[in-house]
Structure 1
Amino acid sequence: MKRAVMMLLACIGLAVGSADAAKVEQVWPLDGHENEQGDFFKKSIERMAALPGFQCHFDQMMVFTDGGGQRYSGDLAVLKPKRFRWQYEKPYEQFYISDGYGIWHYEPDLMQAERLDNLEAVDPAVMKLLDGRISTADLKVLQKENASGQQTRRYQVSIKGSEPVWLGFSRHGDLISIERQDLLGNRNRMSLSKCSYIAPSENLFSFTPPDGVDVLDMRSSK
């Protein structure tokens, strides 16, 4: 369980693939007006909160202070409220599924499934943000910058109960990047691609352990 929990707790650095061709001129309709830039951020957060759910492919990169690193990839699905599915394909297959009440963690190579009920243990602030449970009232903008080469606008924000993170948005207001550094200096980045903003099926968030799998019940009340 340890290796998987570390991976999921670190899933808070996002950056979505390249924008349109370089010949397309970046146009920010709100540039040059501080109050309107604030409106852009607010509307982008509200737009995300209003989505019933979404699905994306992710590519994650963790960079450690000792010079090492680790890459992960897989698929993420969210269905509000509180249902999510993190499915890792690389470096090994595993996934977390929350049905809104509890969490299954399954690692096929170990033939082991764990039943969890502590959402906070694998539900960091950014997951709450993706799930629409964090509003602009819960965010404080510390810094902001435009990354013209990537056609993104980034904001460093403080989220209640979490260390500051960088949130990046496309010129259309889609959340396209999140980057975080922990207290030890390790950095986490993830890229999202092939996103669909149509709510995924509820069936995606249910799980029954296959025959022969060792099931560990880690719930506090059984």
Structure 2
Amino acid sequence: MTLPIARRALLSRSLFAIVFVAIGLGSAWADGLSSLEGFMRSAQSGRADFTQTVTAPSRAGEAARSKTSEGTFEFQRPNRFRFVYTKPFAQTLVADGKTLWMYDMDLNQVTARQQSQVLGSTPAALLASAPNLQALEKDFTLQPEPDQDGLQWVSATPKSRDGQLQRVRVGFKNDQLAALDILDSFGQRSVLSFRNLQSNPALPASTFDFKPPAGADVIRQ
């Protein structure tokens, strides 16, 4: 069984937006790049609820199309995270450090990808693995932005033109991550809003374990 083309494209393009959340949860500071550097050092794990709105670019004669989803996520550095989508359809995305698993409950289908190949080619992986701001600036142009919608913003633009990300904006409020605003190379925009954030909770190792459900169709790529 394979995903319908339109849905598979949406999930694939949304993956890069999702991956960013694995590196962007917890307490932060509102004083620009030095705050981002401190956050990168201090936030080693996290947990939150999220709402994600993905908007496809408008086409000739058609209005832009948006899809909204909700769920929960957790992460543990390095390179481990778990997303559980609950609305509008159930889906689970787990990175266990070696394999990236995506389970679609409606289709009873699991897609497994080698994590180093999937994440290693994206700017999100560089941001997740960078130990400090100086290392991050080798691959991204970082720029504080004016306050907007009650949030303090920092933008990260990849220096390489070969990736699937145009730009990500990170928004903070009251020393907490509040939003990610991501634009990919397809012109698709993904905005994630967070609530009930917890920084550095104790997460059991089993949080990032995944075993395909019995009877599920497993596709390895």
TM-score range, shorter chain: 0.7 to 0.9
Gaps of 5+ in 1: 15-28, 31-36
Identity %: 20
How far is 1:160 from its partner?
5.2
| Matched residue type, 1:114 | T
| CA RMSD across the alignment | 2.9
Summarize the alignment of residues 1-222 of structure 1 with structure 2, pairs less than 5 Å apart.
2=8, 3-11=10-18, 37=31, 40-66=32-58, 67-121=64-118, 124-126=122-124, 129=127, 131=128, 133=130, 135-137=132-134, 138-139=136-137, 140-147=141-148, 150=150, 152-159=151-158, 161=160, 162-172=165-175, 174-197=176-199, 198-218=201-221
- Who wins on radius of gyration, i.e. which is larger? 1
Q: Does the CA-based 8 Å contact 1:12-1:189 persist in structure 2?
A: no
Structure number with the bigger relative contact order (C-alpha 8 A, sep ≥ 6) is: 1
How far is 1:120 from its partner?
4.6
Q: Does the CA-based 8 Å contact 2:48-2:196 persist in structure 1?
A: yes
TM-score under structure 1 length normalisation: 0.73
Gaps of 5+ in 2: 22-28, 59-63
Deviations along 1:151-201, whole A, 9 cap, x unmatched?
x211222245542221222242x3322212233433211101111111422
Q: Does the CA-based 8 Å contact 1:12-1:190 persist in structure 2?
A: no
- 2:173 & 2:37 partners in 1: Cα distance? 12
Deviations along 1:10-56, whole A, 9 cap, x unmatched?
33788xxxxxxxxxxxxxx98xxxxxx4xx42233322432220011
| Equivalent residues, number | 193
